[in-house]
Chains A and B, each alone.
Chain A
Amino acid sequence: MLRLESIRTAVNNVQFNRFRFWLQLFFFVLLVYGGYLGIELGKSLPTFACGYNKEGRGGMCYLMTLQHQMEWPWQKLFSVAGLTVLSTFGIFYLWFIALNKGWCGFVCPVGTIQDWITSLRRMTGIRYSRYSWGQFQWLAQIKYVLLALMFLIPLAIGGGWFQKDLKSPFCMICPGRTIIPLFSADFSQLSIDFSSKTNMIMTGLGLAVTGLFFIGSFVKKRFFCFYCPMGAFHYLLSKIALLRLKKDGSKCTRCGDCFRVCDQEIKVIADDVTQKEIMTDDCIMCLKCVAACPEPGALKATFAGIPIFASTEEGFIKRMNKGCSDGK
């Protein structure tokens, strides 16, 4: 058993931020340049492996497939052909169950870009901004509105009320569409399509959101993830996911360290000492809170019940002293 203990303490005392940086970089290369290496993970990935990045993508974001399927004419959608919608959803769900919202925290290329922009800001020494608690609450509803629109508009297209130009509405305003193809030198998305008023408006909105994305994520950590419908969609399905974030209220001194390092500024994680399952809809499972918790065993991430990363004292001391000169 000693082996397991030593492995467990080694994992718990890892320099977590450095580990997460390299993992994110790996997933970024996998999903944005996987295509060139012949990797094809299918069309229902629960993360923003953008479909517009045609050659390079290692797999396609499920939202594009979903919207594409929702646009089918209703006879086809609700006919036998509709079964393919269920099967792609099934594959998406299997992918999702493995990492729960860890997809957002570790895998999503758009998220990784935002973290890079944040570290750029840190180098320049500019302060980050915070939402006040009032703003946080009503801004948190936007992602559900976007999720609803992402379903309704394509269905309306399929039903014939909206014209085809409104196809995959969320993809048009998603910053992934304009930014991820840049990484494989495809600038075609950075243009406004004047061929019809709808296209003009949608691509215009898309580029406005891209601009907003850049300044937003420069001043606010993980700016876009707070409004992302994929995160909302994940949360609705996260009941039986394997990767879990658990909190032991009795160990918690409510010191608020987890809230301090949380990119999404979720107060519940610091203040709630009764709930066992502590993942909220805004959470991106980046596990920075577990890394920043000084109380042993208060916060831990479990995979199918087995604790894989738990907060420990010496881990905390090692991570929080990294900033000091003698680095001990």
Chain B
Amino acid sequence: MVNETSKVIPIQAVPFARSRQAGEAQTVLDHIVDDFQDNPESMQYFYDLFRRVYCQGEDVPHEGMLVGTTCIQAPEELIYAFGATPMRLCNGSYHYDQKGADFMPSKSCSLVKATLGMLNSELVIPKIGRPDMIVNPTTCDQKKKSSSMMSDMGYKVYDLEFPNVKESEASRVYWQRSVRQFAVQLRELTGNKLTRKNLKEALNKTGRAQAAFRKLHNFRRKSPSLILGKDAFLVTNAYFFDDIGRWTAAVEKLNEELEQRDKSGFKAVQSRAPRVLFTGSPPIFPNIKLPLLIEESGGVVVTDETCSANRMLYDMTAVDEWMVSDMVDSLADKYLKPCTCPIFTKNDDRRRRLLDLVESFNVDGVVYQAFAGCQVYEMEYRSIAEEFNKAGIPMLYVETDYSPDDKGQLSTRIEAFLESMKNRRKRRA
């Protein structure tokens, strides 16, 4: 009798497919796929990819060493050139957000909490295996501070020193030097040599990927739009972990399908749907909550200015002399100069970029997402709001995090925002 009660019932290993993370990813993916009609067929590749990786927990293959990166500022081309595979570790699942909460203060960026949570748990989704090195550019404060926590977890962390003043010549030279040091570090890690050939191939790999993204980016200028924002976010989120060759081929197939849609005059949304520019903290699968809310209540996210999509893939490297020394420096410049990340002291580039996007995509309104606790985006909200007031463009500021509990309230606010844009457009028309 006694051993009956004292026998502790072991927690059977719940098969992953029914675990909470899978559940969360499952609901979001189903919502993306089922609640919207006529998704492009070539999106099926991405839906299957996410279902396999996020819902069934299939492991993600990589050849050579695995180098995890926590920010877009880590030069991928160098990692590819040394034969390793870069994978972005930023995580968007609420499950890991709660797990990471015991590392971070309560009011801090959910993205960093989720990343730390994911790295600390044994079952890492997406199942990319244990990164041989994590490259942590010293961009925003919370990512900077999380590097020591990551090394406490036993990972080999390399701090890539990134300047915070973009305009000065000193910071440019400083960043070029730290990228060169990063190349030396990669050589020690992988033991391979950086040659002109393999660096050129790496540049070409990402070059083709960026060219494909740009084509998609240009297709989204069409009004009425050909593809919904949630699909575009899914595509760019797949870039985090998917094999770059397959990803590029899939995006090129998607571009062809959009080409037919464009010719056949297909409309993904009715022409009255308000066109929204999404900016601020990056929506990372499964936290595509805000874009989905916008598109559920009749809006369409035509373009974005976030580091999980546009900012990551838009700018391309220009090389003057195809020699290793010049290619590495061009790479460094490509990551620093055009970047519109809020961690810099001045954000004129971001403002001009937003205004240019508004003008070239004829956007009706802007949704500005800031994760609770992400001071850089919150502090930059004022200057961006001023700029948009001057330009007469309505902007909705949403401070949210990964938890779904403010969905109800957010949907009301978004719906009201979309309706005010519809009125504005009706009166203007």
Interface residues of A (CB under 8 A from B): 122, 125, 127-128, 132-133, 249-257, 260-261, 267, 270-271, 273, 288, 292-294, 313, 316-317, 320-321, 323-326, 328
Contacts and interface: CB of A to CB of B under 8 A. Distances in A.
Interface string B321-347: 111011001100110011010000000
Given A127-B326, A132-B169, A260-B320, A254 B338 contact: yes
Contacts of B340: 253
B238 to A, nearest CB: 22
Given A132-B169, A260-B333, A320-B317, A255 B203 contact: no
A260 B208 contact: no
A270 B317 CA distance: 15
Interface stretch (B107-115, B229-237, B353-361, B398-406): B353-361
27 contacts: A122-B323, A127-B323, A127-B326, A128-B326, A133-B169, A250-B352, A253-B314, A253-B315, A253-B340, A255-B334, A257-B333, A260-B320, A260-B329, A267-B169, A270-B337, A292-B320, A294-B316, A313-B214, A313-B218, A316-B316, A317-B207, A320-B316, A321-B204, A321-B211, A324-B204, A324-B207, A325-B197
B204 A256 contact: no
A324 B200 contact: yes
Q: Interface extent on B, as a size class?
A: 35 or more
B177 to A, nearest CB: 13
B379 interface: no
Contacts of B326: 127-128
A254 B167 CA distance: 10
Given A127-B323, A261-B320, A320-B316, A255 B337 contact: yes
B165 interface: no
Contacts of A323: 200, 203-204, 319, 322
B201 interface: yes
Contacts of B320: 260-261, 288, 292
B313 to A, nearest CB: 12
Nearest to A126: B323
B337 A328 contact: no
B318 A324 contact: no
Contacts of B334: 255, 257
Given A251-B356, A254-B338, A260 B318 contact: yes
For B330, B338, B355, the residue with the greatest tally of chain A CB atoms inside 10 Å of its CB is B338
Nearest to B202: A324
Nearest to A318: B211
Contacts of B204: 321, 323-326
B207 A320 contact: yes
Given A316-B318, A317-B214, A317-B316, 14 more contacts: A127-B326, A253-B353, A254-B337, A257-B316, A257-B317, A260-B318, A260-B319, A270-B337, A273-B352, A292-B320, A294-B318, A323-B203, A324-B201, A325-B201
A199 B314 CA distance: 59
B419 to A, nearest CB: 30
B256 interface: no
Contacts of B353: 253
Contact of B330 (A254, A260, A316): A260
Contacts of B200: 323-325
Contacts of B349: 253-254
Contacts of B211: 317, 321
Contacts of B333: 255-257, 260
A321 B207 contact: yes
Contacts of A273: 352
A128 to B, nearest CB: 7
B351 to A, nearest CB: 11
A293 B316 CA distance: 9
Interface in B355-372: 355-356, 359
Interface in B196-252: 197, 200-201, 203-204, 207-208, 211, 214, 218
A133 to B, nearest CB: 5
Contacts of A313: 214, 218
A328 B214 contact: no
Nearest to B197: A325
A288 B330 CA distance: 15
Contacts of A328: 208
